Homo-oligomer: A and B are copies of this chain.
């Protein structure tokens, strides 16, 4: 399974410093989106699904604190780190008041920043484990537990599913009896829609069909050119 890079939103108006910092973070295996001001920062924040925000305090139009407040309204949990040139006590206090997780005075050491980022993201990672998406499905005589990745027929021995099998069956189950568009699975699971990923998906459909043979009331139908349909009679 592919390692998922952590996503960082960096809002910094100084183009030189911002670019350098972005490159440095990307070199260290983070996925970085760089916004040049508070306004743009908020727009990008709404679109992306970030693990951490790094905000410059002093920016034209919308300063870091204001932006932080807006971000907090949308998301109470996401860690925020402020960058600031001046080491003003009032600023530090203000930062903590809007829920900062940390604070760095420029110029700061890049290794220290890296450590802080790591510490903060790890902290959050341990909290946010039990996010309750939908993990359990009944499909005819089958039970699908997509957190533990197994499929069981009528209380028999569980069939272990590979990550792709699991995700694909889960998507089909979410659309039970309805069309599950090819494109949806490809973009959600394979993150790319091309000839090869499409062939790959067909291979997985074949595998799922083999498993589902146990119950002849359950089948995966193809809708030519559209996608697949998990039907339960």
Contact = CB atoms under 8 A, between A and B. Distances in A.
Which size bracket describes the interface of A in this complex?
35 or more
Contacts of A100: 119
Interface in A124-163: 125-127, 129, 147-149, 162-163
A188 B193 CA distance: 26
A214 B70 CA distance: 55
A183 interface: yes
Given A109-B89, A126-B184, A162-B224, A178 B148 contact: yes
A96 B115 CA distance: 7
A191 interface: yes
Interface in A86-101: 89, 92-93, 96-97, 99-101
A187 B120 CA distance: 11
B148 A223 contact: yes
A60 to B, nearest CB: 27
B126 A191 contact: no
A129 B181 contact: yes
Copies in the complex: 2
B89 A118 contact: no
A69 to B, nearest CB: 16
A192 B118 CA distance: 9
A111 interface: yes
A187 B149 contact: no
B127 A126 contact: yes
Contact of A179 (B92, B148, B192): B148
B93 A147 contact: no
A229 interface: yes
A22 to B, nearest CB: 22
A122 interface: yes
A126 B79 CA distance: 14
Contacts of A118: 96, 192
A210 to B, nearest CB: 19
Contacts of A224: 1, 162-163
Contact of A111 (B93, B99, B119): B93
